[in-house]
Structure 1
Amino acid sequence: MTIREEITGSELAHCVECGKTHPPRAALIPSPFSSIIAQELMPTASETAAIRHFVREADAEIAWREHAIDRLHCELAELRRRSELHKAIIAPIRRVPPEIMAEIFLQLAAIEARSEHWWDYYNDRRLLEQEYTSRPFPNRAPLIFGAICHEWRAIASSTPSLWNCISLECTNENMRNNVSLCNMWLKRSGALPLSIQFHRSDSEDVASGQIVDDYRDLLRTILPYAQRWRVLDLKKFPASSYDTFHILLPNFVPMLETLSVSHDWRREQPTLTSTPWAGLRISPKLRFLYFDSIGAGVIMVGGERPTFPWSQLTHIDVGDCSAYDCLRILGEAPTAVACRFVVQRPSFLQHPPISHPGLQTLKIEVYDTTLPVWDLLTCSTLSTLSVEARTMAAGPYFRGLPSFVTRSGAKIQHFRMRPSGLDDTEFMSCLSAMPQLRSLDIAEVFGGQTQFTEQVWESLTWAAAEDSPAPLVPNLESLSLDGDFNFSHKFVVRMLNSRVQTATRPATFSPKLKAVTLVMWRNITKSVYRRLSAFEKLGLKMLIDVMGEDGEDEGSEASDAEDWESDDGDTEDSEEASDLSSLEADDSDADDDI
């Protein structure tokens, strides 16, 4: 008979002490002194001695039973362990074939995978893109699979798809560990293409030559696998550590599709040459390039051979370049569809005019204004144009922009300019040359030229008559304006009112404007704010940011009679109803100078 059968077959009893049901407990020796205890009598000397003897026996029994309880706890733990082991042997998961387990591992790893993208700074559009990656955390996939059992560890170790992507955050303290970890990771990747991301922490300084050597060792770890690189992303490595590539980088990198190299300009000025990257000239699949110091290196070697295979690149994002570099790259990259340039160096050479046949996205961030890129450029297929000036002396730099837009703006749908020195006539000239424009993002120059004057707002406003000509940018869907202190709301209200469906609009009118963002650096009254916000009720997504709300009242539209703290006793609902009525009424209501 087994222990379970013995327990089951025995008579169970309800215990009055603990209230549970269990087998009858062993009979206890009755106390011969129960009458003395019940009557609370004072025992005699002989009875006292007998009671002490009884207590010693009871304490001994307690100690024996406590040891028995400890033994039972140990037996319970052992029985539970045996039970779990035997349950594991017959568990359904053990009958899953190894190839199915490998697929489960891959799906779990994909859930935990870190998705990384290079985002440009404009319109939240991806310029360079990649699928990233597994981070080597002990309690996350794929390392956690090896901590379950020997069989799972063997399956995970022999599944290359779990190990062909790696992302490491590099610090001075963990570099030696990163080298061994990376070596193990890549050895398990089989023959699959590799995605490698090494990011140096922003807080790290290059304190010694030993630190540089550690970064070189990490690069030496991945160099034997160069012919399997698919994505290589190196961020803020010491510039001198790239010398390792000069010796060991092969002359043929057949699988590389994306290269990203950035430096820490706050802590070091990289003095680079193109030599470390010479092997990348023969990279037949390279399409995406991000290199933030193209001017610190040498774009051309010996004036003849290109550092990178520009002719096959489709997405280019380069920094620390001159306008001459931009034009030369565009001239040598006929297949490029998206380019971003950070112009930080002066141009000492004049480049011949360039007409690019396929460029769809052009984004330029300007620090040096010696030579405007667009003066010598034509892009007939351009759909996105973004220009950002990072210098207060950029006014003359933009004078050639209307001519460029006239040559290239027929297909532009997204236009961003922050800020510019164009007057309203030049700005309207740009808009008229972009008939397909759908999104417009403008920042005005503080204390300078106002971009959106009364004439500009009027040119964007639909006339009430059904047979009136269309305004500028008739297909506008998104408008973002970072306004200067000269901002006035009344022209905005009239323009927005003409682009939403109201009772006064013809039935055939189909509104296209969907979203408006207004950043205003001046105070406005509460009623003006409500009037602008009321367009939400007419289908517009409105975002209004009044930066001067808590500032000085100088130059504001607020009056002494009405300010942000007064509401004239109106309820919120009645105010909104009134604002909607005023929007649907005659436009003269919007002309009140509050």
Structure 2
Amino acid sequence: MKPTLTEPPMTIAAVERQLRDLALLQKSLFAEVSRLKSQANRDKSAIISMFPTEITQLIFFFCLPDLTREDLDEDNRVQMKRTAAPLVLGHICRIWREIAWGTPELWHKLTLYMFPRNQALQAWMVANWLDRTAQFPLDITIYSYASKAVKHRMALRDDHAISFFHVLKRESCRWRSLRLRVPADSLFYLNKVLNAAGRRSEPLSPVLEELSIETFSVGLRHFIPLQIWHLAPHLKMVQLGSHAELNEIITNWRNLTSFSVGRLTVKELHEVLSKSIYLVNCRVSRLMPSPDQDNDILVHHHLRRLELLKDASPEGRAFASFLANVSLTRLEELDVTLSHFIDVYVSFIQRSRCPLRRMKVYFAHHVPQSGVVELLRATPSLEVLHICIRPDNAWVMKTIGSKFLRLLSRPGSSYQDVTTRYDEDIEPAGGEEVPLLPRLRDLELDGPVNFDWTVLCNFLESRYYTEPTVNGDVGRTPFCTLRSFRVTIHDTKPIPDTYLDEDVIACLRGLTADGFAVSIEYPDEGDKSMKSPTMVDLIEVSATRCETLRYLESLITD
């Protein structure tokens, strides 16, 4: 009986001693883990401290976000918090905080929401932010969301003055760029604030180079003239929204390189070009006629891109009167709405002798196909052509139907229109006729469809580009330059079943296999019985249903 009574307590005591030893071992292991973590943090901090301050500053600088138009369009506060990157960098560790707080280059960009909940707090934060910029030029963005402003009818008025703007105005001598995205009604107040202490002898912001004012309407139906003649005499970029217009053309904007405005008269546009001799980009959303315009030919040698989107006069007379009295010798990109005066457009291009590379054409009126062909023949250097026709102008699409595609086809091929004649001034290569737009690289059509799919495939096969072989011989004519074709179809009429026959499918499959970019889209929404057939609808009417399915799925993916 004695072993039975004495052995269990001894065994239990031995196990308890082991548990105490394990507890001591666990405690020592936890202490070792804490020591290793502390050592790792010290080593990490040592590595960070080993970086030269200049290298760390550059790394921080590349961490700053670049705002896009989409960032300002949507109510996305999480995304907009990226603009506080300098503050975030300062919260990592003491070393980073010292570097971030002492680097003025990180703080020269300031992005502010226009209608904060706590204006006093925002004004205090703006003042502290500006203290860290030293004397660096400031890039300021003030934004508000259209959805909220329209819903709550927000606007910046005298009784709703944001205090942070007054803080910014005290540093106006350091403004380098000012970007506003505000309700249109707010321009009244901004005009008053900006002109409160302005004098012609003392510009409000002498170093301001970029001014962008984008507006959206909150019940406003008229234009607001901006009095910025004293604001910045050395602007390089001016972009005004649809509700803002200039009170006068600045006489000393000789450094201006980019100019975009909602509306302008023909005379004012001539004045801008004559006084801004280094202007490179010019965009006018709405051009209005001038009864007393100058008829002298204006020659400009630096303008590379011109956009004339809408003509406020009947039948496009404002565009015609402007182009009839201007010569742009370096023009490379042209976005314009065609009018009845097609001969004026042709004369403008021939007079300018410009190396036009890209052209986007809007059809607002019916233009004969002969006029379009004459215009394109005057631009043999054209590489990118985008033709855009609104769905409600479906009758205009006849201008760029099957016959138009035949004119673009390679001469000598079985697809080329036998009645086509080419400009005699263009010297043929190797005795062969030169096609319309011999250097065409990208073609995009946007509007109601009015061409036969077979004619389209014939055109693509005759002009598409293939990579050279090892010996440099492509085995094709010099006019096979086309690299991409895109069509966006807005059409309410059904497409005949014969449009997608086996030959068309085989042609498009072969082109995509060679790397040619083809994109066909049907963006129309609404009643399915009224809109154009989708890709699935086209599959249903095809004889080779499965093969067409695989091919069209690849088109959608591309």
Calculate the TM-score normalised by the size of structure 2. 0.73
Q: Is the 8 A contact 2:303 2:330 kept in 1?
A: yes
Q: 163, 168, 172: which is aligned to 1:226?
A: 172
Q: Is the 8 A contact 1:172 1:204 kept in 2?
A: no
User: What SS does structure 2 have at the residue aligned with 1:469?
Assistant: coil
Following the alignment from structure 1 to structure 2, what is the Cα–Cα distance between the partners of residues 173 and 446?
49
Identify which range, 470-479 or 410-419, moves more after superposition.
410-419
Q: Is the 8 A contact 2:342 2:375 kept in 1?
A: no
Unaligned runs of 5+ in 2: 1-11, 72-78, 414-429, 467-472, 552-558
Q: CA deviation at 1:294?
A: 8.3
How do 1:71-470 residues align onto structure 2 when only pairs under 5 Å count?
Answer: 87=39, 90-94=42-46, 96-97=48-49, 100-101=52-53, 103-104=55-56, 106-116=58-68, 137=81, 141-150=85-94, 152-173=96-117, 175-202=119-146, 203-204=148-149, 212=158, 215=161, 217-236=163-182, 238-242=186-190, 243-248=192-197, 250-251=202-203, 253-269=205-221, 272-281=224-233, 283=234, 286-292=235-241, 296-300=245-249, 306=250, 309-343=252-286, 345-352=288-295, 353-369=297-313, 370-372=317-319, 373-388=322-337, 395-396=339-340, 400-408=344-352, 410-420=354-364, 421-444=366-389, 445-448=393-396, 450-464=398-412, 467-470=431-434
Q: CA deviation at 1:107?
A: 1.5
Q: CA deviation at 1:139?
A: 10
Q: CA deviation at 1:574?
A: 12
Following the alignment from structure 2 to structure 1, what is the Cα–Cα distance between the partners of residues 446 and 80?
43
User: What SS does structure 2 have at the residue aligned with 1:435?
Assistant: coil
Question: Is the counterpart of residue 23 in structure 1 residue 29 in structure 2?
Answer: no
Deviations 1:274-315 (A, max 9, x none): 43552312x2xx311112258744124xxxxx2x63322111
The letter for the 1-side match of 2:371 is E
Following the alignment from structure 1 to structure 2, what is the Cα–Cα distance between the partners of residues 371 and 378?
16
Name 1:4's counterpart in structure 2: none
User: What SS does structure 2 have at the residue aligned with 1:446?
Assistant: helix
Q: Structure 1 residues 411, 139: closer, same or farther in 2, change over 3 A?
A: closer
Q: Is the 8 A contact 1:295 1:345 kept in 2?
A: no
Q: CA deviation at 1:239?
A: 0.8
Q: Which has the larger radius of gyration?
A: 1
Q: Is the 8 A contact 1:411 1:436 kept in 2?
A: yes
Name 1:519's counterpart in structure 2: 488
Name 1:492's counterpart in structure 2: 456
Q: Structure 1 residues 480, 290: closer, same or farther in 2, change over 3 A?
A: same
Deviations 1:211-243 (A, max 9, x none): 655555333222222222222111115112211
Deviations 1:60-101 (A, max 9, x none): xxxxxxxxxxxx99x999x79985996488444157559835
Q: Is the 8 A contact 1:406 1:430 kept in 2?
A: no
Deviations 1:518-545 (A, max 9, x none): 2232525443762563221243200012
Following the alignment from structure 1 to structure 2, what is the Cα–Cα distance between the partners of residues 553 and 207?
38
The aligned length equals: 481
Q: CA deviation at 1:159?
A: 1.5
Q: Is the 8 A contact 2:177 2:209 kept in 1?
A: yes
The letter for the 2-side match of 1:401 is Y
Alignment RMSD, CA only? 4.3
Q: Structure 1 residues 204, 555: closer, same or farther in 2, change over 3 A?
A: closer
Q: CA deviation at 1:381?
A: 1.5
Q: What's the % identity of the aligned pairs? A: 19
Deviations 1:347-366 (A, max 9, x none): 44323342222211111110
Q: Is the 8 A contact 2:441 2:481 kept in 1?
A: yes
Q: Is the 8 A contact 1:175 1:214 kept in 2?
A: no
Following the alignment from structure 2 to structure 1, what is the Cα–Cα distance between the partners of residues 286 and 238?
17
Q: CA deviation at 1:573?
A: 9.0
Name 1:540's counterpart in structure 2: 516
Q: CA deviation at 1:267?
A: 3.5
Deviations 1:234-279 (A, max 9, x none): 1115112211111245516343221112222344356644435523
The letter for the 2-side match of 1:439 is V
Following the alignment from structure 2 to structure 1, what is the Cα–Cα distance between the partners of residues 70 and 252?
20
Q: Is the 8 A contact 1:501 1:538 kept in 2?
A: no
Q: CA deviation at 1:382?
A: 0.9
Following the alignment from structure 1 to structure 2, what is the Cα–Cα distance between the partners of residues 136 and 540?
39
Q: CA deviation at 1:102?
A: 6.4
The letter for the 2-side match of 1:317 is S
User: What SS does structure 2 have at the residue aligned with 1:326?
Assistant: helix
Deviations 1:2-53 (A, max 9, x none): xxxxxxxxxxx99989xx9753489xxxxxxxxxxxxxxxxxxxxxxxxxxx
The letter for the 1-side match of 2:66 is R
Deviations 1:300-343 (A, max 9, x none): 4xxxxx2x633221111111222332222122222111111111
The letter for the 1-side match of 2:132 is R
